[in-house]
Homo-oligomer: A and B are copies of this chain.
């Protein structure tokens, strides 16, 4: 959640917002499917042209959304199925052509801010084996193939004095992974999606809308290797909530209200505030486990423990 100020980090929500205005969008392809057993809905938004990127306000790439309504509940078997679905989607965007891959997983966010601690918590549950592969070689492997997994939690700038991206760039140059998986908490536009949506994207991490500011980006352009981003929305900006409630009222009432965004007294109090669920601490614990399991499965690291 590089910045809470973004209205939404979900391409799906951008697509909906624009889509409302009328049907198809040039340069943006949408595919949907639903798993019968789990009710998990998978949406694949492909931004294929620069124009599509401009309309969507997001870089070109593939954005896969898993919407799993029961993800906020404490049901181990369900979480396991979501982990497996996440693994399947991850595999669909992982680099091809190499039998064995070296991957660096990056846990972004702030361990000390609950709603922003998804990345560090996912890192805690991850299986890593790069140090063993380095020491004993892949000979120890009995399964025919063995990826090499390492992991870093760069921490936040206020604690390190460095951009997360600077630390990651240094580690990438030093250790030379084939690709990155970056995990981060996201902001959504709608509370309905909080804690029950996982987005997998191929465009990496682009702080500040990707305009300039390449020093902070974690992208194929800046790092030289592909970056898959995994995100879960855990907060909604408080001003967004009020603004959206007003918009819905306008629509329903037919009245033209003063636009919420320009209404100073209505909004001034909401700066630096966010909306989150009451059980966010518990939710982060469960979600981080589910996401880390998905990564472990996708990387064949399940039996390495």
Interface residue ranges, A against B (CB under 8 Å): 4, 74, 112-114, 123-124, 128-131, 148-153, 155, 157-163, 166-167, 169-175, 190-192, 194, 238, 241-242, 245-246, 248-249, 252-253, 255, 257-258, 260, 263, 265-267, 269-270, 272-282, 305
Contacts and interface: CB of A to CB of B under 8 A. Distances in A.
16 contacts: A112-B281, A113-B279, A113-B280, A128-B159, A128-B160, A128-B161, A130-B162, A131-B163, A166-B171, A169-B170, A245-B266, A249-B263, A249-B266, A272-B277, A273-B275, A274-B275
A161 B263 contact: no
Contacts of A252: 258, 263, 265
Contacts of A162: 130-131, 150, 152, 171, 175
Nearest to A151: B160
B269 A278 contact: no
Contacts of A273: 191, 194, 275-278
Contact of A278 (B4, B124, B171): B4
A226 B182 CA distance: 33
A196 to B, nearest CB: 13
Main secondary structure of the interface of A (DSSP, over half): helix
9 tightest Cβ-Cβ pairs between the two chains A and B: A170-B170, A170-B174, A130-B161, A128-B161, A150-B161, A170-B171, A245-B266, A242-B245, A191-B269
Oligomeric state, in copies: 4
A155 B157 contact: no
Contacts of A248: 265-266
A259 to B, nearest CB: 10
A249 to B, nearest CB: 6
A278 B113 contact: yes
Contacts of A266: 245, 248-249
A224 to B, nearest CB: 14
B161 A167 contact: no
Nearest to A285: B112
